Structures are given as structure tokens and as C-alpha cells.
Amino acid sequence: MTNEEKLMALLKQNNDVIKAGTVKSHGIPSALLSQLVRQKKLFKQARGIYANGSGAYDEFFAFQSRHPKCVYSYSTALYLLQLSETIPEIYEITVPQGFHVPKDTSDLKMIFHYEDKKTYSLGIISIRSPQGQIIRLYDPEKCVCDLVKKRNAFDSEAFGKALRGYAKRKDKNLKHLYAYAKVMGIEKAVQQIMEIIQE
């Protein structure tokens, strides 16, 4: 199998989009990417991200590929977890304290939330984006804790809808929910709200 055939096989496995780092990790020369772009067999979507003609541009994936410490959270995570029907116009992202906001975000509307190392690392999961690429965000339990902690920042209707949606989920993990709440210092508030919405 030639390097080009290997690369095309990798593309197929990754929903027609691939990162330069993935190509390199499979022993394929990165110069091949530039060659295939010149031949119009591949298209450069963003720095280090390539696709064939079928690969839809995935803003969630493209941004996070460049900035892996950025974790989708709050309203953005709620949408990706199907706990909100509102397509986010502004991406909400959580980063560790001391993180320097990337310079390449000027064309994107974003809100950055800063957390200490202990709470930043709670509940990070990987799922497929609407375009099929792997992205990182907070699990439903961390999202519920974030909602409760910053309750006044959310519309009451959206707040209630997200929590009721969580309560109905078959895959909810109350053990994780209360463990996160304890670390975040909101255990009592989370217990009270869960008692109300589960009645």
C-alpha cells in the first residue's frame, strides 16, 4: 500500500477529515499533504486540518484541534449533549486558570470560563461532533454542576429545561453528579435542586 493509499484509508476512517499530526503518527510524510492539496485531491480547512471533497468543515473540531486545553462547556456542551435545542451562537469554553486566550479566535464569538486545576479536569469526555469528529466537552453531570453554580447567569426557562432533561436521561450518573458537586462546594444546592426536579 502506498503512502497516498494509507492516507486515503485514514481519511475514510475519520469522516473525510484528518489532522496533520495523525498522518505523521502513522509514518506518512507530511509533505504528501501539501502535494495532494496542489493536486486538488485534498483541501486545507484550517492549520493542520485537511479534508477531501466530502469532508464538511467542522468548526468545533478545527478550533479544538488547535487548542486542546479548550473544553466545550455550559450552553455549548448542553447543545452537544442534547440538553438544549438552542444552537449556540457563542461558543462557551472552559480553560485552566492561567491559560492565555488564543489569538486566532477573533472571527469566532467565544466566552472563556477559567477554573482551577481541580474543577477544570472534572468530567471531561469525548463525543462525536454533529459533523462526526471527536471533540472534548464536559459530561452531563459537570454541566449540571456548572448550571447550579452559576444559576443567576442563565435564563430560568433554559435552566429548568436542561435540568429536567438531565433528570430524564437513562445514562445519568448521580454518583458522579454528587461527587463533582462536593468538589465544587455546591453539594447541598445540587441535592435540593435534584429533589425538586425528580418529584
β-strand 91-96 against 110-115: which pairing, if any? parallel
Average pLDDT over residues 81-96: 91
Residue 106, pLDDT > 60, answer: no
pLDDT for position 164: 92
- CA pair distance 81, 123, nearest whole angstrom: 13
Query: In terms of Cα–Cα distance, which of 20, 17, 24, 108 is closest to 56?
Result: 17
pLDDT for position 149: 93
Residue 79, pLDDT > 60, answer: yes
- CA pair distance 182, 177, nearest whole angstrom: 9
pLDDT category at 107 given cuts 50, 70, 90 is low
Name, of 7-11, 98-102, 192-196, the range with top average pLDDT.
192-196
| Location of each CATH 1.10.10.10 domain in the chain | 3-56
pLDDT category at 37 given cuts 50, 70, 90 is confident
In DSSP notation, 111-164 reads: EEEEE-HHHHTTTEEEEE-TTS-EEEEE-HHHHHHHHHHTGGGS-HHHHHHHHH
Residue 102, pLDDT > 80, answer: no
Higher pLDDT, 12 or 186: 186
CATH topology of domain 3-56: Arc Repressor Mutant, subunit A (1.10.10)
pLDDT for position 74: 95
Cell of 165: 432533561
Q: pLDDT digits over 9-23, tens only? A: 888 877 788 888 888
pLDDT for position 196: 84
pLDDT category at 148 given cuts 50, 70, 90 is very high
pLDDT for position 174: 95
Q: pLDDT digits over 48-77, tens only? A: 888 887 667 788 888 888 888 999 999 999
Mean pLDDT of the chain: 87
- CA pair distance 46, 55, nearest whole angstrom: 12
- Global pTM value: 0.80
Q: Report the percent of the chain where pLDDT is more than 90.
A: 43
pLDDT for position 104: 63
End-to-end CA distance of the chain: 60
Higher pLDDT, 131 or 106: 131
